[in-house]
């Protein structure tokens, strides 16, 4: 039966790396078929609890199996990883309360560690913590404030490996009327600080009104609820926009709007969301998510595609039943999470493959037709989801806190307090792919993915591939050009009407990104995870306009990302060009280093052997065609260990400096004389450390290149791929290098994603 599975080669690699069962030695002991069987069996077994016969349970199991195996639906990662295993924790989203006491703070840290251990992500509101330097009456001391405690949470997260697959992800939220709001906005000013958190500011309707009127607003002491200061709303708004312009954070959520649609206000106000912002939750609630792959719900007639509404309806029914069953099958990490999740039974059915669907239909992402279809499609999914939840309520009962909920007031007996969520689907869309992620536009129409043992697979957006073949302009040369970073908008061989349909993320105006988010939000009762892409040339005013438009269009939150804002090196301030820049940006707006020179396919160099206190060190220095030093490689005679990794790091950084145009004298001055506990002697000179040895060889080779022996060094495809990606407009949001495969990482929906191997970090 293995042939029934439709997983792509790259999906199989991701499944093996992160989802398939492994034994104590780390060896894979499960096939993809067995994974789907494990998940569908575990989740369908809940039917017996509600009186289903064995035959009925088997029928539902087979339907679950089909919709997952055919890539029409995918549950969130913890369900794929843990269903049917001893761990058994199936939820992706949690919110943990942080009250204003040491006991509560460290209880929250413990809860977070347990949640991250099982594969979940956590959200926190730090708005209840008293502000920095306020008096703590019980001790007579002063409070250290929310930001200091966030750093404690961040350190704890760093120490916990999440389910053996990734570091835990956190969301930190602070209300805009908290006295420490300005410090919170600035808390990730230095790249790398509080790195395990996404941060968002909770904006109130009152604050937004004050922004529009350019008036002051009150700062509220969270301990006494007394007014403890005033600040100009426009000043705070500008600071938020300035920092988002610089590095994409903080995001913003419209907290009053979220609570206007809180389905159970009698249980309390919502203060926080999960790490990517799409799931507002009450304290100690969790939510189970899953996504429909829209690109699989198409019918072709005479070369023209249309949505298969009947199949979409059938799978939506199944997906809602599946997600409700997941709640029962779940092994919750804490008893209070079990209690609070069961009382509201929140689920979140979302979508992926939206851009791919539009491509097949021939509809541009940035068009009114696409916006109207988004509304129609999401309304259809929501109506079907509600219908099935009402059926489940008849079979199994309403959620326990139904009384006094918004559903009670509407006289709708329903099984689940919430039904729909648009979540990020980075890794899931690779498993269900090739298809586009969430409701995002394509970031590239074609790219190379790393598959097996270094083999690369050219992966093309299915809609673009179909159109290129059917209209006769498909060629391997064209696809390679796109994969190397060229935009089809500049290609003569691509027809103009095709260019109009297949714009990539950075080729679409931010206005259309926001309009698309708002269209889906209209029929999503949780929230929508979406990145509003801005070109590198965007201004702080563009960020502010995006915020105001998202508020006007009734989004529940927004994350903006200016292309390149996390991937450039600041050198010196250019005062002349900065005279008209906003104050917050002026101090850091700079002339920027260019990207490193691309590496030729073949390059020549020399290898020098140096005896160090750690063993024989082989230092290879390669030169470019112009004779300038280009890169450095090191190899220690003793393979592996910390020394080898440190040497590799030094070699990479020296190479980056050389390729970026840094003078070799500056490099040698930095390395020369660095000491370690085991110095040695070589050629009558003392070698203080391996770094010192590299400096001496660089210095020697720069003075006398005639004594060297030339060798040929293999191609560095990973570096080339990253450089090509950075140079390209069609590879947007490049923020670094993947730690697993060396390809480019990009920023999307609050996460770092690698298109090549599926690595993700939120």
- pLDDT tens readout for residues 197-221: 999 999 999 999 999 999 999 999 9
Neighbours of 604 (CB within 10 A): 14
278 an active-site residue? yes
Say what the pLDDT of residue 707 is: 41
Q: 495, 499, 492, 482: which is closest to 444 by C-alpha?
A: 482
Q: CA-to-CA distance for 607 and 455, rounded, in angstroms?
A: 28
Please give the C-alpha separations between residue 691 and each of 615, 634, 638, 669, 674, in angstroms, as whole numbers: 13, 10, 16, 11, 7
Share of the chain above pLDDT 70, in %: 82
Judge contact between 120 and 78, C-beta under 8 A.
Answer: yes
pLDDT at res. 353: 97
Mean pLDDT confidence for 373-391: 98
CA distance 724 to 740: 18
Our answer to whether residue 459 is catalytic in this structure is no
Q: How far is CA 113 from CA 88, 281, 339, 591, 751, in A?
A: 16, 19, 19, 42, 20
Percent of the chain with pLDDT over 90: 59
Cα–Cα distance for residue pair 16/27, rounded to 1 Å: 10
Closest CA to 357 of 429, 289, 431: 429
Higher model confidence: residue 594 or residue 360? Answer: 360
- Give the span between the Cα atoms of 519 and 354, in whole angstroms: 13
Pick the CATH number of 2-81+283-431 from 3.10.580.10, 3.20.70.20, 3.40.50.11720, 3.40.50.300: 3.20.70.20
List pLDDT tens digits, range 514-567: 999 999 999 999 999 999 999 989 999 999 999 999 999 999 999 999 988 875
What would the mean pLDDT of 701-727 be, rounded to a whole number? 47
DSSP 8-state symbol, 16: H
The two counts, helices (H) then strands (E), for the chain are 26, 34
Residue 572: beta bridge partners? 591
Task: List pLDDT tens digits, range 82-140.
Answer: 999 999 999 988 999 999 998 999 999 999 999 988 888 899 999 999 999 887 766 66
Which residue in the block uniquely carries the two structure tokens 């575990």? 42
Q: Which of 229-233, 273-277, 425-429 has the lowest mean pLDDT?
A: 425-429
Residue with more model confidence, 260 or 616:
260
pLDDT value of residue 601 = 60
Rounded distance, CA 174 to CA 145, Å? 11
The span from the CA of 119 to the CA of 11, in Å, is 20
Each domain of the chain, given as residue ranges in start order, spans 2-81+283-431, 93-273, 446-594+721-761, 603-715
pLDDT above 80 for 509: yes
Mean pLDDT of the chain: 85
Q: What is the pLDDT of residue 292?
A: 98
Chain segment 748-757, per-residue pLDDT in tens: 666 777 766 6
Count of CB atoms situated within 10 Å of the CB of 231: 18
Structure confidence at residue 626 (pLDDT): 63
Beta pairing, strands 197-203 & 73-75: unpaired
Q: Is 723 helix (H, G, I), strand (E, B) or coil?
A: helix
> Residue 2 and residue 4: Cα distance in Å, rounded?
5
Please, which pLDDT band fits residue 337 given cuts at 50, 70 and 90?
A: very high
Q: What is the pLDDT averaged over residues 249-258?
A: 96
How far apart CA 143 and CA 476 sit, in angstroms, is 63
Task: Quote the CA–CA distance of 762 and 752 in Å, as a whole number.
Answer: 6
603-715: CATH topology is Sufe protein. Chain: A (3.90.1010)
Counting Cβ atoms within 10 Å, is residue 181 exposed (0-12), middle (13-18) or buried (19+)?
buried
User: Distance (Å, rounded) from C-alpha 462 to C-alpha 716?
Assistant: 29
What is the band of 633 on the pLDDT scale with cuts at 50, 70, 90?
confident
Identify the H or E element spanning 529.
none
Dist CA 494 CA 488 (whole Å): 7
Tell me the mean pLDDT in the region 685-706.
78
Distance between CA 581 and CA 258 in Å, rounded?
Answer: 34
> Do the Cβ atoms of 133 and 142 come closer than 8 Å?
yes
Q: Determine which one of 93, 187, 276, 757 is catalytic.
A: 276
- The residue among 166 and 197 whose pLDDT is bigger is 197
Reading the block at residue 561, the tokens are 């990302």
Catalytic choice (278, 388, 631, 749): 278
CATH number at 93-273: 3.20.70.20
Helix-strand-coil split of the chain, %, nearest 5: 40, 20, 40
For 314-341, give the DSSP string: HHHHHHHHHHHHHHHH---SSHHHHHHH
pLDDT higher than 80, residue 729: no
pLDDT in tens, 456-497: 777 899 999 999 999 999 999 999 888 888 899 999 999 999
Domains 2-81+283-431 and 603-715 share a fold: no
Q: What is the pLDDT of residue 570?
A: 27
Catalytic residue among 76, 82, 262, 274: 274
- Asked about 740 being catalytic, the answer comes back as no
**Helix-helix angle 146-158:102-117, to 10 degrees:** 30
Give the model's pLDDT for residue 3.
45
Q: What is the mean pLDDT of residues 45-73?
A: 96
Q: Which of 49-53, 81-85, 158-162, 335-339 has the lowest mean pLDDT?
A: 158-162
List Cβ<8 Å contacts ≥24 apart for 705-713.
705/606, 708/606, 708/608, 708/621, 709/606, 709/607, 710/604, 710/605, 710/606, 711/604, 711/605, 711/606, 711/607, 711/620, 712/602, 712/603, 712/604, 713/603, 713/605, 713/620, 713/622, 713/633
pLDDT-derived band at 704, boundaries 50, 70, 90: low
**Sign for the pseudo-dihedral over CA of 472, 477, 481, 482:** positive
Q: What is the pLDDT of residue 569?
A: 27
Closest CA to 15 of 40, 43, 41, 34: 34
Residue 4 confidence (pLDDT): 65
Picking from 501, 435, 506, 434, the residue whose alpha carbon sits closest to that of residue 471 is: 501
């Amino acid at each position: 039966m293995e042939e029934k599975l439709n997983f792509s080669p790259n999906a199989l690699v991701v499944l093996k790396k992160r989802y398939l069962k492994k034994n104590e030695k780390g060896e894979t002991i499960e096939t993809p078929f067995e994974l789907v069987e494990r998940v569908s069996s575990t989740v369908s077994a809940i039917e017996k609890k509600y009186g289903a016969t064995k035959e009925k349970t088997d029928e539902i199991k087979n339907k679950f199996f089909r919709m997952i195996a055919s890539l029409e639906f995918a549950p969130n990662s913890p369900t794929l990883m843990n269903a049917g295993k001893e761990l058994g924790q199936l939820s992706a989203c949690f919110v943990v309360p942080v009250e204003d006491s040491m006991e509560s703070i460290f209880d929250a840290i413990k809860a977070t560690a347990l949640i991250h251990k099982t594969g979940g992500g956590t959200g926190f509101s730090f708005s209840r913590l008293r502000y920095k330097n306020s008096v703590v009456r019980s001790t007579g001391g002063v409070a250290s404030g929310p930001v200091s405690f966030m750093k404690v949470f961040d350190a704890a997260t760093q120490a916990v490996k999440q389910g053996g697959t990734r570091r835990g992800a956190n969301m930190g939220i602070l209300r805009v009327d908290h006295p420490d709001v300005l410090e919170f906005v600035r808390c990730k000013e230095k790249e790398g600080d509080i790195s395990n958190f996404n941060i968002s500011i909770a904006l109130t309707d009152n604050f937004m009104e004050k922004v529009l009127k350019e008036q002051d607003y009150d700062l509220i002491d969270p301990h006494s609820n007394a007014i403890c200061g005033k600040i100009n709303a426009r000043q705070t708004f500008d600071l938020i926009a300035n920092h988002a312009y610089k590095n994409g954070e903080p995001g913003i959520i419209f907290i009053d709007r979220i609570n206007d649609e809180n389905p159970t206000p009698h249980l309390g106000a919502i203060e926080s969301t999960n790490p990517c912002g799409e799931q507002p939750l009450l304290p100690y609630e969790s939510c189970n998510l899953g996504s429909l792959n829209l690109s699989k719900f198409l019918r072709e007639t005479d070369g023209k595609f249309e949505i298969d509404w009947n199949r979409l309806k059938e799978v939506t029914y199944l997906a809602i039943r599946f997600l409700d069953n997941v709640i029962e099958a779940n092994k919750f990490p804490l008893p209070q999470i079990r209690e609070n999740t069961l009382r509201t039974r929140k689920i979140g059915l979302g979508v992926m493959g939206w851009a791919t669907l539009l491509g097949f239909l021939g509809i541009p992402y940035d068009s009114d037709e696409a916006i109207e279809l988004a509304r129609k499609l999401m309304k259809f999914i929501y109506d079907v989801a509600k219908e099935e939840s009402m059926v489940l309520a008849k079979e199994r009962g309403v959620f326990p806190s139904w009384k006094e909920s918004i559903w009670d007031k509407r006289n709708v007996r329903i099984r689940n307090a919430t039904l729909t969520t648009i979540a990020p689907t980075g890794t899931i869309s690779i498993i269900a792919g090739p298809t586009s992620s969430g409701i995002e536009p394509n970031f590239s129409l074609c790219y190379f993915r790393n598959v097996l043992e270094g083999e690369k697979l050219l992966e093309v957006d299915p809609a673009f591939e179909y159109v290129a073949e059917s209209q006769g302009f498909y060629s391997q040369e064209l696809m390679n050009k796109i994969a190397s970073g060229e935009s089809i908008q500049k290609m003569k061989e691509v027809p103009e009407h095709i260019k109009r349909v297949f714009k990539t993320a950075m080729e679409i105006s931010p206005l259309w990104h926001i309009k698309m988010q708002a269209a889906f939000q209209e029929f999503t009762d949780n929230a929508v995870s979406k990145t509003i892409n801005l070109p590198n040339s965007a201004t702080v005013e563009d960020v502010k306009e995006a915020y105001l438009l998202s508020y006007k269009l009734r989004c529940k939150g927004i994350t903006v990302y200016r292309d390149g804002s996390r991937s450039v090196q600041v050198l010196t301030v250019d005062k002349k060009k900065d005279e008209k820049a906003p104050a917050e940006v002026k101090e850091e707006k700079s002339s920027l280093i260019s990207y490193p020179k691309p590496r030729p396919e073949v390059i020549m160099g020399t290898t020098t052997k140096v005896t160090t206190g750690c063993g024989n060190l082989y230092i290879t220095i390669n030169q470019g065609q112009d004779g300038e030093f280009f890169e450095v490689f090191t190899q220690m005679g003793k393979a592996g260990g910390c020394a080898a990794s440190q040497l590799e790091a030094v070699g990479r950084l020296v190479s980056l400096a050389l390729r970026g145009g840094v003078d070799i004298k500056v490099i040698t001055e930095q390395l020369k004389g660095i000491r370690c506990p085991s110095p040695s002697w070589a050629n009558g000179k003392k070698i203080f450390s391996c770094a010192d040895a590299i400096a001496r060889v660089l210095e020697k080779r720069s003075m006398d290149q005639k004594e060297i022996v030339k060798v040929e060094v293999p191609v560095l495809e990973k570096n080339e791929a990253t450089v090509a990606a950075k140079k390209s407009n069609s590879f947007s949001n490049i923020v670094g290098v993947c730690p697993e495969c060396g390809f480019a990482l990009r920023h999307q929906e609050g996460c770092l994603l690698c298109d090549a191997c599926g690595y993700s970090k939120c």
